[in-house]
Amino acid sequence: AQKVTQAQTEISVVEKEDVTLDCVYETRDTTYYLFWYKQPPSGELVFLIRRNSFDEQNEISGRYSWNFQKSTSSFNFTITASQVVDSAVYFCALSEGGFNKFYFGSGTKLNVKP
Amino acid sequence: KAGVTQTPRYLIKTRGQQVTLSCSPISGHRSVSWYQQTPGQGLQFLFEYFSETQRNKGNFPGRFSGRQFSNSRSEMNVSTLELGDSALYLCASSWTSGGAFTGELFFGEGSRLTVL
């Protein structure tokens, strides 16, 4: 079974629109970490955020915000007022028990058109 | 601060050959992980090394192996290459506190392997 599911394969929006990328995870561990990574066309994965299972506070960083809900096993990512530079593939990932073994979702390709 | 460096960036091999990929982590990072990225399977964990020891291993056949040197540089080797091994191989390093997980992986640009 997939531990991390990103149901949206590809999303296209027009610049300045808000967009939410969904992530649903599955784990039996009580201690786990959730991540979002961005992979621009250049290929290098860039870390965006980490959340541990004991911290359900939502986080905002500029135009980016993350909504972590343990009740629904979701860790969604919202980009407000999207820009063309946000075009990339975004990956959600899970690490269980504090190990450097990440389970990545299949990624959501975001296309932001001018 | 230099990032994670992977060499070679691109390589072409034929079935049955073997290949060695190299990864130099960020200075001070002692944990190095390897991932395989393909369009069909996405990003899959291969293995992780810390202080020259393999700590975690993914579900890949024994043809995939790796090692880490005392300077934290790591290599991975794939023997008897198959067409399905064509992929982008990503190396990631992370800082650890006494070997403990700190969470953030820093990725290299990858080595793109094509098997003909």
pLDDT digits (tens, 9 = 90+) for A56-97: 888 888 999 999 999 999 999 999 999 999 999 999 999 987
Cβ count near A13 (within 10 Å): 16
DSSP state letter for A85: G
Euclidean distance between CA atoms B40 and B48, whole angstroms: 22
**Residue A100 pLDDT class (50, 70, 90 cuts):** confident
- A2, β-bridge pairs: none
A103 and chain B in contact, CB less than 8 A: yes
Q: Is A100 within 8 Å of B107 when comparing Cβ atoms?
A: no
Euclidean distance between CA atoms B23 and B57, whole angstroms: 17
Tokens of B93: 């390093």
Euclidean distance between CA atoms B52 and B67, whole angstroms: 7
pLDDT digits (tens, 9 = 90+) for B23-52: 999 998 999 999 999 998 999 999 999 989
Q: Can you tell me whether residue A65 is helix, strand or coil?
A: strand
Amino acid identity, residue A43?
G
Q: Is A101 within 8 Å of B58 when comparing Cβ atoms?
A: yes
Smallest Cα distance from B7 to chain A, Å: 14
Calculate the alpha carbon distances from A53 to A20, A32, A39 in Å.
21, 5, 24
Tokens of A28: 């039996």
Residues of A in contact with B31 (CB under 8 A): 100
DSSP state letter for B83: G
Nearest CA in chain B to A32: B103
Nearest to B43 among A46, A50, A104 (CB): A104
Tokens of B50: 């810390």
Length of chain B: 116
Q: Please report where in the chains the tokens 């991975």 appear, as a residue.
A: B76
Cβ count near A90 (within 10 Å): 23
Q: Is B101 within 8 Å of A42 when comparing Cβ atoms?
A: no
- Which residues, numbered 41 to 100 in chain A, qualify as contacts with chain B under a Cβ-Cβ cut-off of 8 Å? 42-47, 50, 52, 91, 93, 95, 98-100
Q: What is the DSSP string of A16-82?
A: T--EEE--EE----SSEEEEEEEE-TT---EEEEEEETT----EEETTEEEEEEGGGTEEEEEESS-
Residues (pLDDT < 70) of chain B are 1, 97-102
What is the reported pLDDT for B95? 83
Tokens of B49: 């090394």
